[in-house]
Amino acid sequence: MAIVTIDGTKKQYPIGTTYQDIAKEYQTQFENEILLVGINGKLRELHKTVQFDCILQFYTGKDQPGIQTYHRSAIFLMMKAFYDVAGSENIEKVTVDFSLGKGYYIQPHGTVELTEELLNKVLTRMREYVDQKIPIMKRSVNTDDAIELFHKHRMYDKERLFRYRRVSRVNLYSIGGFEDYFYGYMVQNTGYIKYFDIIPYDEGFMLMLPQKENPEEVPVFEAEKKQKLFTVLKESVKWGERLNVSHVGALNEGIAAGNINELILIQEALQEKKIAEIAARIGSDRSKNLL
């Protein structure tokens, strides 16, 4: 038996009891669903088990670790559904380009035709997976094996990233056979991911997710208010593509090849060009006002 201290109260649990089972006992004391726990100050997923005396803390979507875990898990769920609906043979990659407002802008690359009908099917598939409560499994593999796996699944960005990873092992997550790498924790199963929406936008789509302030409500995407910020963020993505440093793996390759000074100079030139364009636009506006 192990002594688990929760809010100053000690209780005994058999060794091997999952934190999910303990969370179920205390769930009624929380307004929102428990997604993660802290064990002696360290975050742990709900499928982990009690192994020793400890101090336990619960995290819901109202807490930063909890909402980050929810977002990460929702993105993984979306990836699984998108590949299943669109067909992996039609997809080169799916990129989460940046956060925008209270959602994430996502672009699929490949021969897949992005239509509203396709996105509706992805949304429906995601909800089906939520109802099925599919376990989100984690396994530790050798880094070299992970590189081979990413190459096999044509996840070349991650393959390039892991070629520069110094640790010998890495954690991979899977949902129903769909496997990927994420830096951070996941919820125990897809049943925890109840709130989300997909909205077509520009050349991709927005994945809208709850925020810490209200973890059980999907926010509205205010496209017009975010248009200027979106334009700037999208341009930064294009810059990365032009410089062939659109992801960390590519940047690592550039540094290893001794091209970092060249990359910095090109980046500075692009910034100066942008500043000049802004200055010219301000000058033009002033001229119009004088007239």
| Ordered per-residue pLDDT tens for the chain, 291 residues | 999 999 999 999 999 999 999 999 999 999 999 999 999 999 999 999 999 999 999 999 999 999 999 999 999 999 999 999 999 899 988 988 888 889 999 999 999 999 999 999 999 999 999 999 999 999 888 888 777 877 776 776 776 766 666 667 888 889 998 988 887 899 999 999 999 999 999 999 999 999 999 999 999 998 877 788 888 778 777 766 666 655 555 555 555 566 666 666 656 666 676 677 667 767 666 666 655
The CATH number of whichever domain residue 173 belongs to comes to 3.30.980.10
In whole angstroms, how far apart are CA 264 and each of 49, 237, 247, 256?
Answer: 48, 16, 16, 14
- Structure-block tokens of residue 214: 């209200």
Do 143 and 265 fall within a single domain? no
Among 184, 199, 221, the domain boundary falls at 221
The answer on 164 and 90 residing in a single domain is: yes
Digit-coded pLDDT (tens) for 217-252 = 999 998 877 788 888 778 777 766 666 655 555 555
Annotate 45-94 with three-state secondary structure: CCCCECCCCEEEEEEECCCHHHHHHHHHHHHHHHHHHHHHHHCHHHEEEE
Domain total for the chain?
A: 3
Within this chain, do residues 9 and 104 fall inside the same structural domain, yes or no? Answer: no
The answer to whether residues 161 and 233 belong to one domain is no
Q: Are residues 197 and 279 in the same domain?
A: no
Q: Are residues 204 and 90 in the same domain?
A: yes
For residues 51 and 169, state if they share a domain.
Answer: no
Write the CATH number for 15: 3.10.20.30
Domain hosting 19: range is 2-59
Q: Give the domain-ending residue among 204, 221, 238.
A: 221
Q: Are residues 235 and 265 in the same domain?
A: yes
- Give yes or no: residues 43 and 22 share one domain: yes
Q: What is the pLDDT of residue 199?
A: 94
In this structure, are 154 and 237 located in the same domain?
A: no
pLDDT tens-digit map of 82-107: 999 999 899 988 988 888 889 999 99
Q: What pLDDT does 172 receive? A: 86
Q: Which two tokens stand for residue 138?
A: 């984690």
State whether 144 and 185 are in the same domain: yes
Together in a domain, 165 and 232: no
